[in-house]
């Protein structure tokens, strides 16, 4: 993928995770026991909304990252490209993980290099 395509795919993944977080947080806010809970997402929104883009070397590595994130009950999104431009249809291209503290995400992605 060229740089523009990578950026586009990453944006799709971020928006997908964002929508899933909003759905989860609405459920939390509607529950009397968790109505006032401060989530990692709330903190992220108030502290600059940091995003980090990392490079993976294979689909297998992407699926392993997803597995590790889901084991921590984190929201993820893998984007499957429609295949209208550079990629074959139904190709998984990128993964996004919900915003969490560095020490949490580094256990999942700490071995990866910056894109």
Give 49-107 pLDDT, tens digit per residue. Answer: 999 999 999 999 999 999 999 999 999 999 999 999 999 999 999 999 999 999 999 99
Q: Which domain holds residue 94?
A: 3-114
Phi-psi region of 49 (alpha: psi -120 to 50; beta: other; left: phi over 0): left
Distance (Å, rounded) from C-alpha 84 to C-alpha 79? 14
Of residues 34 and 67, more confidently modeled: 67
The per-residue pLDDT for range 1-13, each reduced to its tens digit, is: 999 999 999 999 9
Q: What's the pLDDT score for residue 4?
A: 95
The total of structural domains in the chain comes to: 1
pTM greater than the 0.75 cutoff: yes
What does the pLDDT average to over 104-115?
97
* Cα within 13 Å of Cα(39), Cβ side: 17
- In this structure, what CATH number is given to the domain that contains residue 45? 3.40.1490.10
């Amino acid at each position: 993928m060229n740089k523009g395509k990578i950026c586009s795919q990453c944006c799709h993944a971020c928006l997908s995770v964002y929508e899933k977080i909003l759905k989860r947080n609405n459920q939390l806010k509607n529950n009397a026991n968790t109505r006032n809970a401060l989530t990692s997402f709330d903190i992220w929104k108030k502290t600059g909304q940091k995003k980090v883009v990392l490079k993976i070397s294979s689909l297998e590595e992407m699926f392993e990252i997803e597995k590790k994130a889901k084991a921590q009950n984190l929201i993820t999104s893998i984007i499957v490209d429609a295949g209208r431009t550079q990629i074959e249809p139904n190709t998984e291209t990128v993964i996004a993980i919900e915003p969490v503290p560095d020490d949490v995400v580094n256990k999942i992605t700490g071995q990866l290099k910056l894109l």
